[in-house]
Structure 1
């Protein structure tokens, strides 16, 4: 992994304290801070129907990404319990992704959308741009859902300090692993 790369959620990978590469703010109340976001890829095709060029969005893939360069931990407070809590935040993002991916795919796949532009080449280029913006709006909504769920997780587990509640979440997250 190069220094600038995000870590992608997989069922086999686990976070390590060495993944938290940002310098921790000593004034921060929190012992750790992780930045988790959604990334996406897709394919866009265009087809001519009469005089109109329409585009189709296919193969939408949404990934859960942990951002090491934006994530930090107070060096004096690293513990297995805190790392388990942070892993839970990463796992929760995957759970939310799974709960919402079919809605996202259903919204776009198999549907056609109008293009803009003066000629066929410009329409194809703008179809890529427009489809990316359309998906990005949906990903932003997914990110907002995640933020609410992370806030609930933080409150319920008391930021990982309630072992019983953390354990309940951990059992739920085990279901995500292959």
Structure 2
């Protein structure tokens, strides 16, 4: 049986990809590494939800709970074109860690739940995965998990998993809520 390391951004986004990988005959191990998630209480909520999912789905989970927030912020803020590099830097940081672990622990493949989100830069994630595959000598498993978006949400709600409403970083949180504030201020 082929082994795949599934980088997990949160428990709710893991539901459908985990199910699909099992259907494809993989032995799946989850991998948590998300220094992009802010604030820290949000990070904890998502980690706990991921742990709950793993326990209830009988998913082995490797959790790297290092929280190099400073490294993440330095990486995205030292770039000239912040808006163009923020998400790519985040994908790269997390997927590279997954590729390293996959290599160290002799997995046949690595992949990411970021391929499940309809809000992420899917083609860029695929390209980065392929590049990291060459760099580390571990296959990148690509599947467009977005086709199971609704099914994954239904599974996660049935399990009672925490449903976050922004990607993870403080900037995505601001983008998520700013329109609501602006709408409120213009109507009052």
TM-score if structure 1 supplies the norm length?
Answer: 0.30
Larger radius of gyration: 1
TM-score if structure 2 supplies the norm length?
Answer: 0.29
In terms of fraction of residues, the more helix-rich structure is 2
In terms of fraction of residues, the more strand-rich structure is 1
